[in-house]
């Protein structure tokens, strides 16, 4: 993610009763067109937007120019499949908690548009195809890293961490950072320090991206027994953590200048976008400390985080063409 990480980071409609098992339609009675759409929904393809934001700019920066069209296309296809496999595994693993949460009440395994066993088989097939795709069309390192990314999200995060610690999204977010490493490996055949800086940016960005969302849906997570920080801690504590991680993200993003040779354009955009994002996080903390409602600002921070990351990676892509050295 997700890339993965991200993963669960798309917002779904707050409709339904939460537990739809009593009225769900059996998978075999679902029309073919609905079933096909349901399989796509299992992959959580809206999350792939974040994958695309990070992958192509990283490839351009690694190449310091435009990589070949076919390399970009093959990397995007493989990345979409791997993120989709991770999303499908997560849908299967989280199916019971999804059935008691309002915001997930329309997911395919809740409505029974797809059966549980079918979803698991589908996840395995897509995972194998994604790794094979990278192996055949890109390189072996990218294929290995893709397999690691799927494992981290499906097992390390979804099975091991998610229900055991309120810091689940921090360490589970490692899977969502893998696309930048995979993208760099696709171009260079290796992993270098600039790739690790971009990895760290996405890693640090994940908590201030996702914790505000967990504040908004705290009741849902509590009902499902998932100890997301926003559901188990006071708003003030969560908001202070959001601020700290936001500033850590901004500072880390600027390391791409001395470590990766990024120029003035990247530095300017990262600093300006980072200051704006940090401001939104501070506003959330201010409201929480005053005991005022935080839902609207929490969602504003959630959406602002996506805009921030988009601007940073647009700057990553543009810098090789228009960003001269700072000194």
221's CB contacts (< 8 A; 6+ apart) are 101, 214, 227, 228, 230, 231
Q: Looking at the structure, tell me whether residues 202 and 121 fall in a common domain.
A: no
DSSP designation for 157: I
Could you tell me where the DSSP H helices lie in the chain?
A: 32-42, 48-63, 69-93, 95-98, 108-111, 116-137, 140-151, 168-172, 174-188, 193-216, 218-224, 229-232, 235-254, 256-260, 264-289, 295-322
Euclidean distance between CA atoms 184 and 256, whole angstroms: 14
Residue 52 lies in a domain: yes
Cβ atoms 315, 229 nearer than 8 A: no
Please tell me the predicted confidence (pLDDT) of residue 20: 41
Rounded to whole angstroms, how far apart are CA atoms 80 and 76?
6
**8 contacts: CB under 8 Å, gap ≥ 6:** 44, 47, 90, 210
Task: Say what the pLDDT of residue 5 is.
Answer: 42
**37: domain CATH number?**
1.10.357.140
Structure confidence at residue 166 (pLDDT): 82
List of residues 6+ apart from 204 with CB closer than 8 A: 245, 248, 249, 252
Q: Please report whether residue 131 resides in a domain.
A: yes
110 with 241, same domain?
no
> CA geometry: angle at 174 spanning 307 and 154, to 5°?
110
Tell me, yes or no, whether 209 and 183 share the same domain.
no
Is there a single domain that holds both residue 48 and residue 184? yes
Instruction: Confirm if 120 and 86 have CB atoms less than 8 A apart.
Output: no
Q: Are 198 and 258 in contact (CB under 8 A)?
A: no
pLDDT tens digits along 54-89: 999 999 999 999 999 999 999 999 999 999 999 999
Q: Is residue 25 one of the residues assigned to a domain? A: no
Cα–Cα distance between 78 and 133 in angstroms, integer? 6
Looking at residue 258, which CATH number applies to its domain?
Answer: 1.20.120
Residues 6+ positions from 155 with CB-CB distance below 8 Å: none
Q: b or e along 203-221 (b: 16 or more beta carbons within 10 Å of the residue's beta carbon)?
A: bbbbbbbbbbbbbbbbebb
Q: Which residue ranges of the chain lie beneath pLDDT 70?
A: 1-30, 47-48, 327
d(CA 87, CA 310): 21
Among residues 284, 119, 122, 117, which one has the least CA distance to residue 209? Answer: 284
What residue numbers bound the domain in which 129 lies?
A: 1-13+33-188
Indicate whether 301 and 257 sit together in one domain. yes
Question: Whose CA is closest to 263, among 309, 209, 203, 324?
Answer: 324
Q: What is the pLDDT of residues 15-43, one digit of tens each?
A: 343 444 444 444 455 677 778 888 988 98
Angstrom distance (rounded) from CA 211 to CA 228: 8
155 and 250 belong to one structural domain: no
Domain assignment of residue 26, yes or no = no
C-alpha R_g of the chain:
20
Same domain, 115 and 210: no
Question: Is residue 265 a part of any domain in this protein?
Answer: yes
pLDDT of residue 84: 93
Q: What is the pLDDT of residue 47?
A: 67
Q: Last residue of a domain, which of 169, 188, 207? A: 188
pLDDT for res 107: 86
Number of folded domains that form the chain: 2
What's the CA gap between 259 and 247, in Å, rounded? 19
Is 24 part of any domain? no
182 and 211 belong to one structural domain: no
Q: Is 19 within a domain? A: no
Phi, psi angle pair for 162, to nearest 5°: -55, -40
171, 188, 205 - which closes a domain: 188
Residue 21 lies in a domain: no
- HSE (CB half, 13 Å, CA atoms) of 224? 28
Which pLDDT value is given to residue 327?
57
Sign of the Cα torsion 161, 213, 6, 318 reads negative
Q: How far apart are CA 204 and CA 199, in angstroms?
A: 9
Write down the pTM of the prediction.
Answer: 0.87
Closest by CA position to 201, among listed 34, 54, 23, 10: 54
Q: Is 175 found in the same domain as 277? A: no
End position of a domain, from candidates 188, 218, 239: 188
Q: Are 141 and 49 part of one and the same domain?
A: yes
Same domain, 160 and 222: no
Same domain, 184 and 203: no
């Amino acid at each position: 993610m997700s890339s993965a990480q991200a993963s669960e980071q798309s917002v779904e409609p707050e409709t339904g009763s939460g537990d739809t098992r009593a009225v769900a339609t059996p998978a075999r009675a679902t029309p073919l067109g609905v079933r096909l759409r349901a399989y796509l929904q299992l992959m959580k393809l809206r999350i792939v937007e974040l994958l695309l934001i990070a992958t192509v700019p990283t490839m351009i920066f690694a190449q310091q120019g435009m990589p070949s069209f076919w390399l970009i296309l093959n990397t995007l296809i493989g990345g979409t499949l791997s993120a989709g496999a991770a999303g499908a595994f997560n849908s299967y693993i989280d199916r019971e908690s999804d059935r008691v949460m309002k915001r997930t009440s329309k997911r395919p395994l809740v409505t029974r548009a797809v059966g549980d066993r079918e979803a698991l088989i589908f996840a395995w097939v897509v995972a194998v195809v994604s790794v094979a795709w990278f192996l055949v069309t890109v390189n072996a390192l990218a294929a290995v890293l893709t397999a690691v990314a799927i494992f981290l999200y499906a097992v390390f995060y979804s099975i091991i961490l998610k229900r055991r610690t309120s810091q689940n999204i921090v360490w589970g977010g490692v899977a969502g950072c893998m696309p930048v490493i995979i993208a760099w490996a696709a171009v260079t055949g290796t992993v270098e320090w600039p790739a690790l800086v971009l990895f760290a940016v996405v890693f640090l960005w994940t908590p201030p991206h996702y914790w505000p969302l967990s504040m908004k849906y705290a009741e849902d997570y509590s009902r499902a027994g998932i100890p997301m920080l926003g559901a188990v801690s006071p708003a003030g504590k969560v908001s202070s953590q959001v601020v700290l991680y936001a500033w850590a993200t901004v500072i880390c993003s600027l390391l791409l200048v001395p470590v990766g040779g990024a120029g003035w354009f990247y530095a300017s955009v990262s600093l300006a976008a980072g200051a704006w994002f940090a401001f939104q996080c501070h506003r959330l903390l201010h409201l929480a400390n005053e005991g005022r409602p935080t839902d609207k600002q929490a969602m504003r921070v959630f959406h602002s985080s996506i805009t921030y990351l988009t601007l940073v990676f647009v700057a990553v892509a543009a810098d090789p063409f228009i960003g001269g050295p700072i000194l």
